[in-house]
Amino acid sequence: MARVELKQVTKAWGDVVAVEPTDLVIENGEFVAVLGPSGCGKSTTLFMLAGIYAPTSGAILFDGHEMNAVEPKDRNIGIVFQSYALYPHMNVRDNIAFPLKFQKLPKSEAIARAEDVARLVHVDELLDRKPSQLSGGQQQRVALARALVKQPNLLLLDEPLSNLDATLRLTMRTEIKALQKRTGITTILVTHDQLEATTMADRIICMSRGRIEQIGTPEDFYSRPASLFVAKFIGSPPLNLVEGTGREGRFQTGGASLRLGSDQGAPPEGGIVAGLRPEMLTFGPEGIAGEIVAIEPMGRETLYILDTDLGGLRVLESRPDRTHTVGQKVHVSFDAAETVLFDAATETRIAGAWVAV
């Protein structure tokens, strides 16, 4: 088990900077999710931890020991690649047992351990097949088994569930999480599925264009997104964003004016973006006036698309049946404490600030 530390780590290929200077500490036994859009440097960071890429600068430490010069084979890391990277010429059993080859285990014990792990991820019926005879989801599970079999200090998962069907993904989520808790292996999960990140991980790292935007618990991300980018990325359906200007305690937009305040001193001034979560907006007798232009049933919930004085707004009601109809004139209100405000210029959150009807 390992405590992982990154100190001013960067990675660049010529002019292409994949990872900007990054500082990060992952505690022993922690389960961390790295979340971010495609191309933001998630895999690159993972590969630097695994020793596949050497950092351009900075240091990577495991339990306080610098790892930069340590070869991948000596780092005792289990990794599941985005592309699974199974060995095409070996059957599933040999694939899973491959890491044990280098640990001088007796062959029979290696096979036994491989079969145990295979049972764990439900591929024990596929042991004699070649990877080309497996479905994408099965390959992913074999890759997971191979990463787990040597009981690594650090488990790196690069989108390990992206190819599973919805049900299996849900089961695997729970199982990986339980497995991680049981074994206590420090685990880093890369994903661009925010639900996966919030349900599985103790902490989430959100990256954008090679930089860490925010590190925190799922709850932090939901209530206190550090930047406009994080706010847009987390939450489904995404946050309603209303652009406007703050002046003398009023929030002015094109068609409306809201009260503006702050728990920490004077209300903010200048360009402001207000974030209103769809699920915190409620229909009522008063509030912001608008008209329903579309309704999207989402199963357990219903999403209403509104055209209001503040612009387009999404309102989420946690009930499967429709309470309103398209074309209906409505009013929506919200709790000031749940609003988040961002500085339009820096795109960072203004702590303590709020808007109210």
Partner 1 sequence: MSPADATHTVAQRDWQAAARRSLWRRRLGMWSLVFFLIVVSLPIMLPYFWMLTISVSARTGGADTIVLWKACAVLVPAVIGVVLTRTMMPPGGQRNLAGLAVIAIAAITGVVLIGPDLHANNYRFLWNPNIVEEIRGSSGAGGDQFPWVWTAFTNSLIFAVANTVVVLTVSTLAGYYISRFAFAGRATFLQSLLVLHAFPAMTLIIPIFLIMHWAGLLDTISGVILVVVTLELPFSIFIMKGFFDAVPWDIEMSAMTDGASRRQAFVQVILPQVKVGMLAVGVFSFLKGWEEYVFVRTLLFEKSNWMMSLYLFWVSDDLMGVDYGIVAAVGVFYVLPSLLLYVTCQKYLVQMTIGGIKG
Q: Which is nearer to Mg ion, 45 or 153 (CB)?
A: 45
CA atoms within 13 A on the CB side of 272: 30
Question: Which residues would be at the binding site for Mg ion (CB under 5 A)?
Answer: 43, 82
Beta carbons of 78 and 152 less than 8 angstroms apart: yes
Applying CB under 6 A, does 15 fall inside the site for ligand ATP? no
Beta carbons of 92 and 149 less than 8 angstroms apart: no
Residues between 57 and 96 that touch ligand ATP (CB under 6 A): 82
* Alpha helices per DSSP H over the chain: 42-50, 92-97, 107-120, 136-148, 166-183, 194-200, 218-223, 228-233
Q: Which is nearer to partner 1, 13 or 119 (CB)?
A: 13
d(C-alpha 159, C-alpha 46), whole Å: 11
Residue 343 one-letter amino acid: D
Residues between 206 and 245 that touch partner 1 (CB under 8 A): none
Residues between 53 and 92 that touch partner 1 (CB under 8 A): 71-73, 75, 77-79, 81, 83, 85-89
Token pair for residue 33? 């999710």
Query: What is the length of the chain?
Result: 357
d(C-alpha 213, C-alpha 227), whole Å: 7
Applying CB under 8 A, does 14 fall inside the site for partner 1? no
Stretch that binds ligand ATP, among 10-18, 195-203, 226-234, 244-252 (CB under 6 A): 10-18
Residue 140 one-letter amino acid: Q
Applying CB under 6 A, does 16 fall inside the site for ligand ATP? yes
Residue 103, binding choice from partner 1, Mg ion, ligand ATP, none, Cβ under 5 to 8 Å by partner class? partner 1
Beta carbons of 277 and 270 less than 8 angstroms apart: no
Q: Which residues pair with 302 in a beta bridge?
A: 297, 317
Token pair for residue 34? 């790295």
d(C-alpha 150, C-alpha 88), whole Å: 20
Q: Which is nearer to Mg ion, 164 or 273 (CB)?
A: 164
Q: For the CB of residue 258, give the shortest distance to partner 1 in the complex, in Å.
A: 52
Kindly state the number of chain residues that form the binding site for partner 1, as judged by CB under 8 A.
Answer: 26
Using CB under 8 A, pick the residue from 36, 41, 51, 246 that binds partner 1.
Answer: 51
Applying CB under 8 A, does 290 fall inside the site for partner 1? no
Q: Which is nearer to ligand ATP, 16 or 345 (CB)?
A: 16
Residue 16, binding choice from partner 1, ligand ATP, Mg ion, none, Cβ under 5 to 8 Å by partner class? ligand ATP
Beta carbons of 281 and 357 less than 8 angstroms apart: no
Applying CB under 8 A, does 113 fall inside the site for partner 1? no
Helix (H, G, I), strand (E, B) or coil at 179: helix
Degrees, nearest 5: CA angle 201-302-312: 95
Q: Which is nearer to partner 1, 142 or 340 (CB)?
A: 142
Applying CB under 8 A, does 142 fall inside the site for partner 1? no
- Burial class from Cβ neighbours inside 10 Å (0-12, 13-18, 19+) for residue 15 reads exposed
Using CB under 6 A, pick the residue from 4, 9, 32, 40 that binds ligand ATP.
Answer: 40
Stretch that binds ligand ATP, among 12-20, 92-100, 140-148, 266-274 (CB under 6 A): 12-20
Degrees, nearest 5: CA angle 208-226-340: 130
Q: Which is nearer to Mg ion, 80 or 239 (CB)?
A: 80
Applying CB under 6 A, does 192 fall inside the site for ligand ATP? yes
Residue written as tokens 């306080």? Answer: 64
Q: Which is nearer to ligand ATP, 36 or 275 (CB)?
A: 36
Report the interface residues with partner 1, using CB under 8 A.
Answer: 47, 50-52, 71-73, 75, 77-79, 81, 83, 85-89, 98-99, 101-103, 132, 146, 150
By the criterion CB under 6 A, which residues form the site for ligand ATP?
Answer: 13, 16, 18, 36, 38-44, 82, 192
